Amino acid sequence: MSAAERFDGCEVVKKLSTGPITDLYHVVQEPLGRPAFIKALGSSILPSSPFAASLEREARLLAELSHPNILEVYDFVRRGERMWLVLEYVDGVSLEEVMKRAKRVPEGFACAVALEVCRALAHAHAHGVVHRDVQPKNVLLGKDGSLKLANFSVAFDERMPTAPELLEGGTGYGGPAYMSPEQILGERADGRSDLFSLGVLLYEMLCGERPFDGPDDRSTSLRIRRDPVPPLSKKAPGVSQALERMTQRCLEKMPSDRFDGALEACAILESAAQELGAEPTAPLIRDTLIRARLIDGSPLKGTVERKVRPSEGRMGVTVAGLFVALLGILGGGFAIQSLSGKAVGTAVAAQAGRRLELLPTGRAALRVVAHPWAHVIVDGQEVEITPFARPIPLSAGSHYVRLEHPNAPVERRTIELTPGETLLLDVTLKVTAPKLSPSAALAKARAVNPQESGDSGTP
């Protein structure tokens, strides 16, 4: 082993990769016996180089962050003309490896991965850090089902000098495929740029291809800036409406048309996960890696196999009947309320393929008045067609409301409900064409596209 591959207090297990700027190693810290990654400056890079400064900058950025979904930095070491980061080790694979093996992944897995990445972004953004390079190779999945967002080498923090744009050779981002329109134009990126990249990631997981790919980087860049998003429902028939709406919102060209922040996007993903039948994220990720034959299914070292208690069981098809029975016992006083023949409240899907309805765990309500009228969609589920002002029972907390009219721009609102509150949302839509009655417009929409008939059932 050469001197350049010796690191104080660490034993090298394996060299994982070599790049023009940095090399990556799997090591064991001594005497702790703790596995770690070492990201070391390449031997050809001088310490005075701006690329060397970017490695220290990455260490300082990571030191500001502490989140279960962000790779932790253990140490930054400088020895003469050498420097390296000691990073948390993930025993597993990258999302890029999963996508190469599986192409299109199950909806539940895609939603779980997007949610954990979104939580990492929310934490980073709250600390003033914009990742700017959200893509599959930077999402690490552990054999234990953990998820870590890695590689903050081109992250932006206004409190620190800007990192060089060219890292690891070629482009700083490995091509434009996951970049937002404003990044391609060289404009300053904020947290909403990361959400655009998350939208590309989610789109790719759901249908097996990216939304704007062209034959080369230039055409891809042009498509990202100019072309509308190909409808996800056509690429992946039967995809969850909530996930499709989530993806569409992230991929808006203008940052102001995307979510205001990652916390809002997290709330939508959490709602989508509930519709799909929420499962604990770590077991879901681990099971998917096992099915893809990327890891073996043997028990993890230091763990004891045990039976899952009913209180920890999956809220999926296999326990739907038990869940309904439990609601009947604990919530005998709950009444199912009806809005135009749709049960919205404590109704729970008892058959495979049906979605969970809006479930008010804390009493609150929303009244919607839309002029002239609109389809009202709450957290990805169509609730009603206005005009009406009857209360929609919802849980206390954040909800995403979307009002759609065939001849007006979509109106979006994020509301915050407190227990016992009834909020009135009064919106006038900017209709630019002759007004149609709700029934006539709905009939027209169904004639043009039978799939958008308002049926909220999961195929």
- Quick: pLDDT tens for 341-368: 333 333 333 333 333 334 444 678 888 8
**pLDDT for position 53:** 85
Distance CA 341, CA 410 (A): 25
**pLDDT for position 1:** 60
**pLDDT for position 396:** 85
- Domains, the chain, ordered by start: 3-88 (3.30.200.20), 92-157+171-291 (1.10.510.10), 337-448 (2.60.40)
Q: Locate tokens 């552990």: which residue? A: 142
Please name which of 349, 435, 433 lies closest in space to residue 386, comparing C-alpha atoms: 435
Angle between helices 95-102 and 281-291 (to 10 degrees): 50
Distance CA 244, CA 221 (A): 23
The whole model's pTM is what?
A: 0.65
Please name which of 132, 243, 111 lies closest in space to residue 187, comparing C-alpha atoms: 132
Residues (pLDDT < 50) of the chain are 166-172, 304-361, 435-436, 448-459
Opening angle at CA 24, ends 19 and 30, nearest 5: 155
Please name which of 123, 122, 121 lies closest in space to residue 139, comparing C-alpha atoms: 121
Give burial (CB, 10 Å; 0-12/13-18/19+) of 34. Answer: middle
